[in-house]
Amino acid sequence: MTRTKLPEKAPSSRRTTLRTHHLGELNLSDIDSHVSLCGWVHRRRDHGGLIFIDLRDRYGITQLVFDPKLDQHSHDLAQLLRSEWNIQVEGRVRARGEGLTNEKLATGQIEVEATKLKILSKSKTPPFSLCDDKIDVNEDLRLTYRYLDIRRGEILERMLTRHKIVKIIRDFFDRRGFCEVETPILTKSTPEGARDYIVPSRVHEGKFYALPQSPQLFKQLLMISGLDRYFQIARCFRDEDLRADRQPEFTQLDIEMSFIDKADIIDMIEDLMIEIFDKILGVQLKKGFRHMPYSEAMEKYGCDKPDLRFGMEFHRVTDIAEKSEFSVFRDQIAAGGIVKAICVKNGAAFSRKDIDDFTTFVNKLGLSGLAWMKMGDEGLSSSIVKFFSEPLQKELIKRLDVEVGDLILFGADSLGVVNQAFDHLRRHIADLQGLKKEGDWKLLWVDDFPLFEKDKESGLPTSVHHPFTSPLKEDFNKLHSDIFNVRSNAYDLVLNGFELGGGSIRIHDSEIQRTIFELLRLTPDDITNRFGFFMEALNYGTPPHGGIAFGIDRIAMLMAGASSIRDVICFPKTQRATDAMMDCPSTISHHQLDELHIRVKESKRG
């Protein structure tokens, strides 16, 4: 045994009773130290009498050598070791031999001569490999064995990044005098009641709590209480039919301030984003993000969260199409429709087959057809060019800034249908052309949203954001005459086609609040039953206030380079809202149901 040195290093914060160092720590300065290490067997190699173990923990990998000449017993025991066994070893740090160092590892210059080995716990063979960086495993299996999926490293890294982001956010708001307040999870069913998760009360028979979809009313009450500056990393719940990449519970950065206007929120959030991007990615953003009114976003990109990493804006060409001889366009226009076109740079390279695929793509989105023209050295060509006179062609080329090698795509239908189909098509083509560059971060404020939109079924006004959003002052006078043209004092922050967050200046006058509720067709009884406490609160000197909320899962996903929010949530639900590991939701006992005064309705399918 070679205990040339006692462990004399200052105790590090990772040092514990069972280990002197973690596994990403030892280097040439530790040569001859006697160390105690713990971790998982990552790889094992037998080399003519010597056994090499790559021992792994959260912090790194350290190579162990078991040499029968140094300690026969440990060497014998090491022969039993298998992948993922959890062990503790003691031994001396030594330099690796010439040519045997590993530059990829922080500990690649050294190895540890193990002279004592203790098996802490054995492992069954994992259901998928934990050594390979890229594995092709069914997500359900990964979620069922989430603890092993995390051990693989990638999810673990993302959890650490997420922790770091949230820490930066909390430090940022603490420095600025914000108070984090925990608002209740057991609360009252909200306006959006139909999407509430509810919780039966045992003590109050036949009554229910609801889980919050957001702390909106609580944060407004905190402004009324004089807290001045509130934030919370808040868990929120929404029982939605799970569209792509939604979770029943999600985490929101929730912010509210008093005595402010939109400019104060924007100023502060830009500072926050600049700090997060700098500290997490080392990317320097410039203050003064671009702004775009909702109307412009819809006109040019067909959506309220445009990805600005690439152009391909929509151009309205109804006037040109109307003058053409192309009956498809003329019929649509006659029926009240519009025609929009996009110019795909270098798009002439797309084949006939590609363009047919685009047509199928927009068909699925409700657009019946896609017309196109290619720009060659000889000018425009396609089967419909003949319907456009020379001057009309020139006008088209000018308006869309068409160059040789470009492709023009036309959509003709109602404005809504064209916008939706072209929004998706634009992003689809950008994928094909590789225009969504990684590391290109295009932040955008979208504002001047309409306050109301028409409910698709009833045609009645519903809130675009929520009923507490203030109308723009200059549009107050349209509330009763031109309701769908009233703009709100709301703002969304968009990053590369994702909505990071959104907020608004709130209504702080109970009369205006009542007017909005009435315009939303709430009866006086509805107002009292659902918002009575809040309407009362507004009567006690409510300060002007506003705020914003961000999806933490979404931000973490984008910063960590993950493709789904499930990859930045430690224990996510599946797309069927189940926990694959725990098997939940699950049945509960009759006794429990009895105590809660409820029963399960007999199934009609039963």
**Which residues ranging from 229 to 258 are in contact with a copy of itself (CB under 8 A)?**
229, 235, 237, 239, 248-249, 251, 257-258
Mark the segment that binds a copy of itself (CB under 8 A) among 304-312, 389-397, 458-466, 596-604: 596-604
Q: Report the distance separating Cα 84 and Cα 40, nearest Å.
A: 5
Task: Give the nearest distance from C-beta 24 to a copy of itself in angstroms.
Answer: 11
> What residues numbered 28-47 form the site for a copy of itself, per CB under 8 A?
38, 40-41
Give the span between the Cα atoms of 520 and 532, in whole angstroms. Answer: 16
Assess 187 for contact with a copy of itself (CB under 8 A).
Answer: yes
- Residue 278 DSSP one-character state: I
Q: What is the helix (H) or strand (E) element at residue 231, kind and residue range?
A: strand 229-237
465 scored as a contact of a copy of itself (CB under 8 A) = no
Instruction: List Cβ neighbours of 369 (8 Å cut-off, separation of 6 or more).
Output: 328, 359, 362, 363, 412
Give, as ranges, the residues between 87 and 116 that touch a copy of itself (CB under 8 A): 88
x/- track of binding to a copy of itself for residues 119-148 (CB under 8 A): -xxxxx-x-------------------xxx
Give the shortest CB-583-to-a copy of itself separation in angstroms: 7
Question: Phi and psi (nearest 5°) for 378?
Answer: -90, 5
Q: How far is the CB of 204 from a copy of itself (least distance, A)?
A: 5
Nearest distance in Å: CB 198, a copy of itself: 6
Considering the rule CB under 8 A, would residue 226 count as an interface residue with a copy of itself?
Answer: yes
Q: Give the Cα separation of 214 and 126 in Å (integer).
A: 39
And the tokens for 471?
């109308």
Is 319 near a copy of itself (CB under 8 A)? no
Which CB sits closer to a copy of itself, 86 or 433?
A: 86
Least distance in angstroms from the C-beta of 501 to a copy of itself: 18
Burial class of residue 390, CB neighbours in 10 A (0-12, 13-18, 19+): exposed
Cβ at position 202, least distance to a copy of itself in Å: 6
Q: Left, alpha or beta for 466 (phi > 0: left; psi -120 to 50: alpha)?
A: beta
Please check whether residue 421 is in contact with residue 362, taking contact to mean a CB–CB distance below 8 angstroms: yes
Of residues 49, 184, 391, 416, which one binds a copy of itself by CB under 8 A? Answer: 184
Q: Give which of 61, 82, 65, 83 is closest to 74, Cα–Cα.
A: 65
Q: Measure Cα distances from 221 to 230, 379, 579 in Å.
A: 11, 64, 35
Minimum CB distance to a copy of itself, residue 206 (Å): 5
82, 90, 210 from 119: Cα distances, Å: 11, 12, 48
The binder of a copy of itself chosen from 26, 253, 260, 446 (CB under 8 A)? 260
For residues 140 and 78, what is the distance between their CA atoms, to the nearest angstrom? 34
User: How many residues sit close enough to a copy of itself to count as binding (CB under 8 A)?
Assistant: 130
Give the shortest CB-293-to-a copy of itself separation in angstroms: 20
Question: Is residue 54 a contact residue for a copy of itself (CB under 8 A)?
Answer: no
CA nearest neighbour of 545 among 224, 96, 111: 224
> Which residue's CB is nearer to a copy of itself, number 70 or number 274?
274
601 binds a copy of itself (CB under 8 A): yes
274 binds a copy of itself (CB under 8 A): no
Nearest to 449 by CA among 463, 439, 468: 463
Kindly identify the residues of this chain, within the stretch 7-26, that bind a copy of itself according to CB under 8 A: 13-14, 16-19, 22
Interface with a copy of itself in residues 573-592 (CB under 8 A)? 573, 576-579, 581-589, 591-592
Residues of this chain, 529-568, that bind a copy of itself according to CB under 8 A: 532-533, 537, 539-544
Q: Can residue 86 be called a binding residue for a copy of itself (CB under 8 A)? A: yes
Our CB check for a copy of itself shows the closer of 205 and 401 to be 205
Burial 505-543 (b: 16+ CB within 10 A, else e): bbbbebeebbbbbebbebeeeebeebbeebeebbeeebe
